[in-house]
Amino acid sequence: MEILAKMDIDEVFGNEAGEEESRDFLKEVYIENDIYARAIGNTRIVCVRSRKGVGKSALLARAFTHCEHKGYSALWLSPTDLAVQLDTDYNISVDRLKKRLARLSVGCLAKKIGFSAAENADEAIAWAEKDGFRSKDFISKVAKTFQDVVKAKNDPGISEDSVTRLLARFAEQKVLTIFIDDLDRGWRPTGPDSIRLKAMISAIREIARECDGVSFRLSLREDVWQYLEIHDEQIDKFRQYAHFLKWDDAALRKIIGKRIWHYCKQNINGYSVSSSDDLSNIYELFDRTYTWSEEIKQMHEVLTNLSRRRPRDIIQLVKGAAVRAKSEGHTKIQETDVRNEFVYSYSRVRTLDLIKEFKNECEQMESLITVFGGKRYIRVMPYQEVIGLIKSVNGRISIEIFGKRATDVDCHNFLYRCGFISAREKISLTKYRHKLYEDAPSLIESMVGVEKYDWEIHAAFRPYLESLQVSPYQEKTRKSKRGR
């Protein structure tokens, strides 16, 4: 069936920012995983850590909807609401954050219950700020305080029966789940930001430990997590709650296939694919194969590779290719549509995104990446050539990582860790095995056998790098090669 011409592309693939997607759409297309299972379970703290575009915000949004659907008390707080005056005494800062969290939580509960006059919640909020999360039976006391307010005040905006039932259920369940997405919003590796984030994590740990039924669902960028692991000795106590979100190839296929299936079942008469997880959904929209590095690959394999296994990226790539295909009058998304979107738009966006994602960690990120660019850039390099390119820029501008002067090996490890470059080992005349940072995080730091690998720039960045001017080091290297 020719479905591309009948599709509204934006409606098929939804919002690229999953947390901004409608709850109904997210419920239909979300792919559940083990971290999601933890987030809707009874664990006191679940912190989702990931790179940009992997879906930590969407996971929290889906878990929040689940809690509300089940009738549990769930609050969504913004990290910008948690600003407090920091004190030179770290413990005082933690205490202020606990009070702020208690005040915000009770204020949000008051709104959910339906107080029409702000002063009706003042008594409960004042108690929360004074004693709040110091109390082990916080939930019971909040429910009791609100029940007293309802009895004492005649507020025409409140249906007393419904509020009484809600509060009774709240007191009986003794469950309050607090969601804070992007706990590190606006964070930079500076003194105040670093102290504030550490104090917030300490406050959350103490509240979850001391107050029955209060739990937290959080998200944190992976680069921030790595900074905390280096600079915060207390993070060891929090590590058990932090879970790294990633997707395998099968899950990414489902992310695309399920969106196609959901749209077609609702909007296209006679659509015959019965399963939302069936690869047939993808092949209804795409040609099956793609010529990749002189090999014939399945289209979905190429898409997952180019997306770096990030749902946001694969959706952007597919949407762009679909728009190109429709404009060309194609009945399916063809190899040329994917290739043109990749070369002329997607690669540039991905490279600039990578620079923005890691600029907090390394101010000189752009210079460190673009030194690999050029009209005849080298896609695969031996170890010494990688180090030579890095040396050419590091000797000129003094690269720093997390505020400390970086060696050439530090810079190589950084590029490996952020996914710009991977190790490549030849296993036969025509086959290679790649090693990503997730596979072997200590490969470069250990310096054991590191020179036996070639190093390959990730496919997502190559067209953009090829479009750049040749670096002086590359020109010098090429001239020396021609002279041999």
User: Cβ(478)–Cβ(364) under 8 Å?
Assistant: no
478 pLDDT higher than 50: no
Residue with tokens 């999601």: 36
Where would I find the H helices in 328-471?
335-341, 347-358, 365-370, 383-397, 408-417, 443-446, 462-466
Measure the CA angle with vertex 68, ends 63 and 71; round to 5°: 130
pLDDT tens profile 203-214: 999 999 988 889
Kind and range of the H or E run holding 423: strand 421-426
pLDDT band of residue 118 (cuts 50, 70, 90) is very low
pLDDT tens profile 340-381: 998 889 999 999 999 998 998 899 999 999 999 875 567 889
Torsion of CA 331, 336, 341, 346, to 10 degrees: 130
Instruction: Say how far apart CA 151 and CA 31 lie, in whole Å.
Output: 45
List, by residue range, all CATH 3.40.50 domains of the chain. 32-244
Give the pLDDT score at 161: 60
Give the pLDDT score at 124: 67
Instruction: Say how far apart CA 111 and CA 194 lie, in whole Å.
Output: 32
Instruction: Say how far apart CA 215 and CA 43 lie, in whole Å.
Output: 7
Structure-block tokens of residue 201: 């994590």
Global pTM value:
0.85
Percentage of the chain beyond pLDDT 70 is: 86
Compute the average pLDDT of residues 72-86.
Answer: 85
pLDDT tens profile 432-466: 888 888 888 888 888 777 888 999 999 999 999 98
DSSP label at residue 134: G
476 pLDDT higher than 60: no
Give the pLDDT score at 140: 79
CA 167, chain centre distance (Å): 35
The CATH code that applies to domain 32-244 is 3.40.50
Give the pLDDT score at 482: 41
User: Cβ(1)–Cβ(272) under 8 Å?
Assistant: yes
Instruction: Say how far apart CA 21 and CA 403 lie, in whole Å.
Output: 37
pLDDT tens profile 241-283: 999 999 998 899 889 988 998 888 888 888 877 777 667 888 8
pLDDT band of residue 297 (cuts 50, 70, 90) is confident
- Region of poorest pLDDT, from 84-88, 254-258, 341-345, 399-403: 84-88
Measure the CA angle with vertex 85, ends 81 and 91; round to 5°: 105
Give the pLDDT score at 399: 95
Percentage of the chain beyond pLDDT 90 is: 37
Integer angstrom CA distances of residue 91 from 168, 204, 206, 484: 35, 13, 11, 66
172 pLDDT higher than 90: no
Instruction: Say how far apart CA 251 and CA 242 lie, in whole Å.
Output: 21
Structure-block tokens of residue 455: 């190093």
pLDDT tens profile 58-67: 999 999 999 9
139 pLDDT higher than 90: no
What is the chain's mean pLDDT, rounded? Answer: 84
Measure the CA angle with vertex 224, ends 223 and 228; round to 5°: 120
398 pLDDT higher than 50: yes
122 pLDDT higher than 60: yes
